Amino acid sequence: MNNKVVPLLVILLMVASFLAGSYWTRTRLESEKKVVQVMPTPTVVAQREEQPAPAVLEAEVRAEIEEGGIAVKGDENAPVTMVEFSEYLCPFCAEYVGVDVIPSRPIDEERTYQQIIKNYVDTGKARYIFRDFPVHGEKAKKIAQAAHCAGGRGKYWEYHDLLFERQKDLSEATDLEDLLKTLASELNLDIDEFNLCLTDNEVAKVVDDNYELGKRVGVSGTPSFFINGHMLVGAQPFENFKKIIEEELR
C-alpha cells in the first residue's frame, strides 16, 4: 500500500469516529432533555400534594347567605353564624344529624348536629341557618318545600327532624305528597293549609333561590357548611366543627 494512503485512511477513521461520538452525545442529551421536560420537579409535586386552605367568603357574600328566614335558630346577635347547605334525601346529611342510614359510617353515633346545637346554639354562642341544596332533583325539591310549609306554621325544625328520621320512607315513597301530608299531620299542622302551600310557587321559589345561592358560593355537594364564612364540606366529626367555632369565638 502507498505510504501516502495509510495516513489518509487513519485520518478518515478518526474523523468518522469523532462524528459518530458527537451524534451519540447529542442524541443522549436530547433524550435526557425530553425526560426533564415531561417529569415534574419535586417542588411541583409537593405543591400538588398540599391541601388547599379552607375557603373563606367575602363579607358581602357571607352577609347574603346569613340573611334570616324560616330555617333559623339561635341568638341573632351570636358571635358565630353557621350555615348548612343540605337536603333531606342526602344520606350523609342524615348521618350528620344522627340518623343511621349508612351502617358502615359510624359518624351518626357522634350526633354532630345535636352537639353543635347543645354546645353552641343553645348557649347563645352560635346562630344556625339551614339552606336547601336539593341535588336529588324534583323529589328533593318537593320535600324541601314541605319543610318550608311546616316552617310557615311554626314547625320548621320539628318537621326537619322528622324528615331526616323518615328518610328511607321518603326515598321509597310512591306517593310522596301523601307521605309529606301524613308527617305534617303527626305535628298537628292544618292539612288544608299545608296542601295549599305545597302548590305555592312562591315557596318553591325559596327552595330554588337557596339552591342557586349555594352554587354561587361554591357548594357542589351536601352537606356543606360555612362557619363565619369558613367553608367545611362533608359529614365530618364534631371536633372539626368545634375547632373552627372555637377559633372564631376567640
For 19, list phi and psi in degrees, rounded to 5: -65, -40
234: left (phi over 0), alpha (psi -120 to 50) or beta: left
Number of domains comprising the chain: 2
Confidence (pTM): 0.77
Encode pLDDT of 168-196 as tens digits.
Answer: 999 999 999 999 999 999 999 999 999 99
- Nearest to 130, CA basis, from 173, 93, 178, 79: 93
The reply to whether 81 and 204 lie within a common domain is yes
Residue 18 lies in a domain: yes
The reply to whether 185 and 124 lie within a common domain is yes
The reply to whether 34 and 78 lie within a common domain is no
The reply to whether 13 and 132 lie within a common domain is no
Domain that holds residue 204: 59-249
193: CB partners within 8 A, 6+ apart: 153
For residue 144, pLDDT over 50 is answered with yes
Residue 54 lies in a domain: no
Give the separation between CA 141 and CA 193, rounded to whole angstroms: 19
Strand order in the sheet with 72-73: 72-73, 126-132, 80-86, 224-227, 230-233
For residue 46, pLDDT over 80 is answered with no
- Nearest to 96, CA basis, from 81, 80, 82, 114: 114
